[in-house]
Amino acid sequence: MTTTNSNEVDHTTNMLKDKHVEYIINLDKKEKSFEYWVTEHLRMNGLYWGLTALNLMNSIDKMNKQELIDWLLSCQKPNGGFGGNTHHDDHLLSTLSAIQILVQFDSLDKLDIDSVVNYIVKLQQEDGSFIGDQYGEVDTRFSFVAILALSLLGHLDKINQDKAVEFINKCKNFDGGYGSIPGAESHAGQIYTCVGALAILNRLDTIDIDNLGWWLCERQLPNGGLNGRPEKSSDVCYSWWVVSSLSTIDRLDWIDNDKLKTYILKCQDNETGGVADKPGDMPDVFHTFFGIAGLSLMGYFDLEHIDPVYALPTKLLDKLNINLPWNKKSKSFAANK
């Protein structure tokens, strides 16, 4: 462990980009902790978080592309879905991450697209909802993941989009927010997924924007950080869930961006790099990504711009000619104007 010295940059006002890059590329080289072993099933998501964070810091070339793609393809199952790791079952969550990783490596052509599309399409239920895998759990997270994945693959037309919207709207609460299933309490993470799904399906008109915007902006606490539900404590991951939702509905200026920036910076680990959930906690790749993504969305530190819905660098989506009417930094937004 290094000791603090007086030459060190003040991490409460500066972004420790180099340290974060080091932190991420060393994640797989470190001594393997117990945590490493019990999170084996999350590796696909982990790679997406780390890789995207690097991409936002213009450092994606630090990763071994070929090796990672080989590993990624080894996680695909005969049914077309991807597991969280080799020898782990397929699930929508890991399938989306795999696709998002391939987009960033400009390698979607490595994929048997029809088999993945077929896998996802089969998970839509009659009421429009999606189950996460063949075992049947329903959640609006899975609606979003399915819709986002299909959009990246250019096959949204294969599902019943009206029904998908109908189900998401059944999960809407009076406060403008959304829950995991009909009747569930509004939650910022869930709101991100529902707003994102509606954005991709071009149905932002079904959102109660001012009501939702108010609920979301109330997530900012006096310490600058954001919580995920009323009267909960702040956590860096909401710098993504809340900020992206506000951005998609064009209400990002309803919170104090500078204060949130300072909160995220305080959560940086000035020794090892990486970002933690709260100041003084242990960093991890999940919060590192969400912290950096939040900073990118708010336009700080010359980071590569991230799209609030697809959670990928905007420039890559422009390359795929994906329409981003909500995204002022996108070519397509300019074209639509």
Partner 1 sequence: MHGVLKVRTTEEKAKAARILELKKIEEYNSIVKKYTDNRESEQGKYNETSLSLSQKVLEENPEFYSVWNYRKSIFNQFKETKENEELQKLYLNEMKFIEECIQRFPKSYWIWYHRKWISLKLDSCDWERETKLCSKLLNLDLRNFHCWSYRRFIIQHSNIPLEKELEYTTTKIEQNFSNYSSWHQRSSILPKIYTDAEEFIAKLQEEFEFVRNATFTEPKDSSSWIYHKWLVHTIKQIPNSNYIDILKNELEQTNELIELEPDCKWPILISLLLKIEIGAYPQDELKDQINLLIKLDNDHINYYKSLFNKI
> In whole angstroms, how close is the CB of 33 to partner 1 at the nearest point?
7
* CB nearer partner 1, residue 107 or residue 175: 175
Question: Which one of 2, 126, 280, 337 is in contact with partner 1 (CB under 8 A)?
Answer: 280
Please report whether residue 269 would count as binding partner 1 according to CB under 8 A.
yes
Measure the CA–CA gap between 50 and 106, rounded to whole angstroms: 17
Hey, what long-range contacts does 109-118 have (CB within 8 A, 24 or more apart)? 110/69, 110/73, 112/80, 113/153, 113/155, 115/76, 115/79, 115/80, 116/76, 116/80, 116/81, 116/82, 116/149, 116/153, 117/80, 117/150, 117/153, 117/155, 117/158, 118/80
DSSP SS3 for 83: strand
Nearer residue to partner 1 within complex by CB, 156 or 266: 266
**Which window, 5-13, 48-56, 191-199, 223-231, contacts partner 1 (CB under 8 A)?**
223-231
Per CB under 8 A, which of residues 231..250 are in contact with partner 1?
231-232, 235
Q: By CB under 8 A, is residue 87 in contact with partner 1?
A: yes
Among 83, 196, 225, 308, binds partner 1 (CB under 8 A): 83
161 touching partner 1, by CB under 8 A: no
| Token reading at 135 | 């075992």
Binding mask 129-158 for partner 1 (x = CB under 8 A): ----x-xxx-x-------------------
Binding to partner 1 by residue 80, rule CB under 8 A? Answer: no
User: What SS3 state is found at 17?
Assistant: helix
57 secondary structure, DSSP code? T
The least CB distance from residue 86 to partner 1, in Å, is 11
* 22 within 8 A of 51, measured Cβ to Cβ: no
Mask of contacts with partner 1, 169-208, x by CB under 8 A?
A: ----xxx----xx-xxxxx---------------------
Half-sphere exposure of 69 (CA within 13 A, CB side): 13
Gap between the Cα atoms of 131 and 146, Å rounded? 9
Residues that bind partner 1 (CB under 8 A): 1, 31-35, 37-42, 83-84, 87-89, 91, 133, 135-137, 139, 173-175, 180-181, 183-187, 210, 213-214, 217-218, 220, 222, 229-232, 235, 251, 253-256, 259, 269, 276-278, 280-282, 284, 286-287
